[in-house]
Amino acid sequence: MHQRARSAEDKARRADDLLKAAEALASELGGVRYITLAAVTERAGLHRTGVRRYYASKEELLLELAERGWGQWRDAIKDAVKDAIKSGAADRAGPAHRPAPSRSRLGPAQTAAVVSQTLVALPVFCDLLTHATLYLEGDVDIERARRYKTNSFAAHDEIAATLDHASTMTVEQITSLLAAAIMLAAGLWQVSHPTPTLAALYEQEPRWGHVALDFSPRLTGLLEACAVGLGGT
């Protein structure tokens, strides 16, 4: 028999179990559009009605997953910046608008690589960037939407500050790069993960299949071009 969570710790753990189950199913099925609350609760080992004790709707659960994704991206950026500087993959000389740094800084191309590589490592988050904008934020109550906006903006600002500290790019250039990264990651992920109907269509019409872009190299190339262009302004 399934027992109700009897403490705040139990409730938090079971809520986290539901998030992990949703993320795993989205990865296995090819996107969050394919998951159902019934499948999530079954994967998490809860009764099919148990999810309502933790999330009011599928949209609220997915928005929570998107919010967690922002935190994961923030942490991944911090780790990637440390690794890039430690490995020596940075420039010693700063651009004209900054004095020559006493330590290595990431140039525009290296900054773009950090941003793209960390996004590629979070495929469900990239998928959710589309859904959050399209409907998730609007299909929950205002206080839940406020919490998502508050925490996602806070994570974004931490990412920008981390890159500003480590990069030769200005904070204004980094903010523009992040805006491009979010839009490109959201759009390219959807295009590169077609629905079964479109996948079958591309097999029948190979000349249309080119739109099913390879996500990682296309995102990396476009962000590098964007960063280099911004860094030259």
Per-residue model confidence (pLDDT) at position 160? 98
Which tens digit of pLDDT belongs to each residue from 152-171? 999 999 999 999 999 999 99
Which tens digit of pLDDT belongs to each residue from 93-144? 444 444 444 358 999 999 999 999 999 999 999 999 999 999 999 999 999 9
Instruction: Report the predicted TM-score, pTM, of the whole model to 2 decimal places.
Output: 0.88
Here the tokens at position 141 are 């109550």
Q: Are 33 and 65 in contact (CB under 8 A)?
A: no
Of 3-7, 26-30, 78-82, 116-120, the least confident: 3-7
Q: Are 218 and 185 in contact (CB under 8 A)?
A: no
- The yes-or-no verdict on residue 177 having pLDDT over 60 is yes
pLDDT more than 90, % of the chain: 74
- The yes-or-no verdict on residue 6 having pLDDT over 70 is no
The alpha carbon torsion through 55, 148, 161, 126 (nearest 10 deg) reads 70
Distance CA 144, CA 216 (A): 32
Cα end-to-end span (Å), the chain: 63
Distance CA 52, CA 31 (A): 22
Distance CA 73, CA 64 (A): 14
pLDDT, the chain, mean = 89
Distance CA 3, CA 32 (A): 28
Per-residue model confidence (pLDDT) at position 3? 52
